[in-house]
Structure 1
Amino acid sequence: MVPTMVLVADGTRDVQRRAALHDLAEAVAERREAPVRAAFGTQEELRATVESTEGPLVVVPAFLAGSDAASTELLAGLDLSGRFDACTTAPLGAVPSIVAQLVTRLHAAGWQPGDGVVLAADGGMDLPGNSERRQVVDVARMLSRRVQTPVQVGYLHTWAPSVADAVARLRRNGHSRVAVATWQLVDGADLDGLREIDATAVTAPLGPSPVVVETLLAQHRAATSRLAA
């Protein structure tokens, strides 16, 4: 029996983001590799979705490591200790195919070789035992190697430097053109502020591109193998 994929993210903040998350879930379901259920609500709604799912299941984060503090907190509150037939995968992080997709997004937004680049992550949440901030730094390093230019990390919430400060720093260092690489799977109101920053270009979120869909399914396949062992 193929385990159900339960896609998890916080979708309570705005209608635009919730719709984008459901578009991502639909793109994954269209591959027909596994039954897919969306859990994009509150902690209680997530728990109800898991408890009402019959048979084995794999909880797959529909967000990137370091990209969504609210979703990180939502997932951290899920207790699967009583389910021998269930497991959780880690949020996507410094995956080469995802970083390559960031480069594609940069080109599509108008980035040119030599332009400065800021990786815009969420910030604000790093639970004990979590490595989200380190994952973001690793993504920035991988992206820097691919575009052959330094990549600064900027944060939308709490952590420093802010995205605006990171853009300003690159400009002070001689980059007249600076692009912002958005480290998010889906769009939403939280990203509106990026479009108001004095950047040359801002990339679109990464999902639901075929690369993202395939990587989420790969997470599910690996977890399915663990459950079957």
Structure 2
Amino acid sequence: MVPTMVLVADDSHDAQRTEGLRDLADAVARRDEVPVVPAFGPGPEVAATVDAVEGPLVVVPAFLAGGDLASAELFAGLDLDGRFDACATAPLGAVPSIVADLARRLAEAGWRQGDGVVLAADGTPAQDERRQVAAVARMLSRRVQSPVQVGYLSAWAPSVSDAVARLRRNGRPRVAVAAWQLVDGAERERLGDLGATAVTAPLGSASIVVDTLLAQHRAATARLAA
């Protein structure tokens, strides 16, 4: 029996996110590889949805490591300890193919060789997610051959605006913002207000994202069967 993929994210604080999350769930379901159950909302609703799914199941974060503080807190609060037929995957992080797609989006948004780049993440208290964001910045810097500063929207320092200002002080008048976001939301407007040269669109339901989520599901299925 193929385990159900339960996609988890918090969309309770941002109505704009709901459509993007639904599009992502639909894109995964259209591959027809696994049953897909979306679990989007505040913590109690998400927990109730997960509990209602008959096993086996794999709980998959519908957000990026360090890219969604509210969803990371919700995900950390899910309790699967009593279920032998369930496991969870880590949020998507420093995956080379995803970073390559982010670099492509920078070019499409108007970034040019020599421009500074800020990787705009949300931030979480989790040290592993912080390391993932730093790894993405290093990988992106190598791809675009330009300095990449990390800036945060909700947690940690520096802020995105501080990171943009630092690059400009260091001789980079043109600065592009790479949004480390899976789906659109209110933070998109905040990034647009920075006066950056370019701001990328969220990764959304791009094929590489769907491919990676399904690869995570296959790896988790193997763990459940072991």
> Normalising TM by the smaller chain, what interval?
over 0.9
Q: Distance in 2 between matches of 1:55 and 1:117?
A: 44
Q: How does 1:116-155 map to 2 (within 5 A)?
A: 116-123=116-123, 125-127=124-126, 130-155=127-152
Question: Displacement, 1:214?
Answer: 0.6
Percent same amino acid at aligned positions?
A: 72
Question: Displacement, 1:89?
Answer: 0.2
Q: Distance in 1 between matches of 2:68 and 2:189?
A: 15
Question: Displacement, 1:48?
Answer: 1.3
Say yes or no: does 1:108 pair with 2:101: no
User: Which residue does the alignment assign to 1:178?
Assistant: 175
Q: Distance in 2 between matches of 1:88 and 1:55?
A: 13
Q: How does 1:78-93 map to 2 (within 5 A)?
A: 78-93=78-93
User: Which residue does the alignment assign to 1:43?
Assistant: 43
Say yes or no: does 1:67 pair with 2:64: no
Question: Displacement, 1:55?
Answer: 2.3
Q: Distance in 2 between matches of 1:14 and 1:135?
A: 24
Question: Displacement, 1:191?
Answer: 2.1
SS at match of 1:131: helix
- Structure 1 unmatched runs, 5+: none
- Structure 2 unmatched runs, 5+: none
Say yes or no: does 1:168 pair with 2:165: yes
The alignment of Structure 1 onto Structure 2 pairs a total of residues equal to 226
State the superposition RMSD in angstroms. Answer: 0.9
Q: Which amino acid in the other structure matches residue 218 of structure 2?
A: R
Say yes or no: does 1:56 pair with 2:56: yes
Say yes or no: does 1:30 pair with 2:27: no
Question: Displacement, 1:52?
Answer: 1.2
